[in-house]
Copies of this chain bind each other. A is one copy, B any other.
């Protein structure tokens, strides 16, 4: 890992997000057109083409769930249940209620909060088919009160889905899981087919074709953020342990060659120890090729002259995951303005948050924590303003409204007021 002494706080994580080639965009557009025109038939035929399996039906059957439970240790099922309970408990604290308020003129104003009717969650295929992603995307929707939650995921060559994903979905009571992936799955969720009714919002990560399809259908339905590469920043002083910092940096690096693992420390001695530990620990990892490539390309250690400068660097980076491994982490919390999830102290290693503690692991990446939030219950609800003007309030105020309307040259607005006087 490269070690740099911080002299200029203008650091940035920002990397260009892959927006696809012209050819990829054309492929995605033609898939969407086919799904809109041919419905299920297009889904079967693209699944045969891309996933190399000819399905009998899109929907996961009871027999497949039973086989998934067979394949998984009961102990793992219990852990999934406990993780789900923790995630539910955290997200229930996010839920908000509608409110109404009356003033002395008898006018009522309010905000009605309503769950979305239907959402779709994309679960990537292959080695990235994570049970934890099912929990993290579905539970906030359930807490919000979304009635219809649909999962889609590309089948493997046996025509089914990984046991962990099926068990996680079943544990949450999901009734609609369809074995379809790629742009064709996004098109089905956005426009509907004979088997899959359209939804209002599409969540979840995917490859470039999924990301392009989400961009394409955005506006007709809502989508979540298009996720960029993932990152961790560790903020530390000399009190933290180099072996633990290194292990945490590597847990990020093993995700993806594009991932970045960054240490911002006030100690040059620690910087050198962490560098050596990373080099030592990475050699024994099963995913060492990925982790090495990630550390090589995007790993970095910044040494700051003091904690204040170090925190300024963190705010510039606006990381997805931030671990604070200083003598008094809580004391720095107020100064940390931009980070998706903040892990305080040595017992809050990032994987605790990825799987189990309760907060969501779907987080703003690539510096977007400056303006974005972790996935949360609000993402599955929308607001309506309520206005019930009283007769008294109307008579006290209609002339003011009419004057403002006329200032803006909107005469019919003023007359809508005056028509009430007739």
Q: Which residues of A contact B (CB under 8 A)?
A: 14, 17, 75-76, 79-80, 82-83, 90, 93-94, 96, 99, 101, 107-109, 111-112, 114, 116-117, 127, 130-132, 164, 200-201, 219-222, 226, 243-244, 246-248, 250-251, 253-255, 281, 285-287, 291, 329-330, 333, 336-360, 363-364, 368-374, 376, 378, 382-391, 393-394, 397-398, 400-405, 407-417, 419-420, 422
Contacts and interface: CB of A to CB of B under 8 A. Distances in A.
Given A112-B333, A415-B251, A359 B344 contact: no
B412 A352 contact: no
A320 B413 CA distance: 16
A314 B120 CA distance: 24
B388 A329 contact: yes
A278 to B, nearest CB: 11
B412 A247 contact: yes
A236 B411 CA distance: 24
A251 B374 contact: no
A411 B288 CA distance: 10
Contact of A219 (B220, B226, B254, B343): B226
Nearest to A253: B412
A260 to B, nearest CB: 15
Nearest to A341: B385
Given A219-B226, A342-B387, 10 more contacts: A109-B357, A243-B422, A247-B416, A285-B415, A342-B386, A343-B389, A347-B420, A348-B389, A350-B416, A356-B404
Contacts of A107: 357
A199 B268 CA distance: 34
Contact of A352 (B348, B389, B409): B389
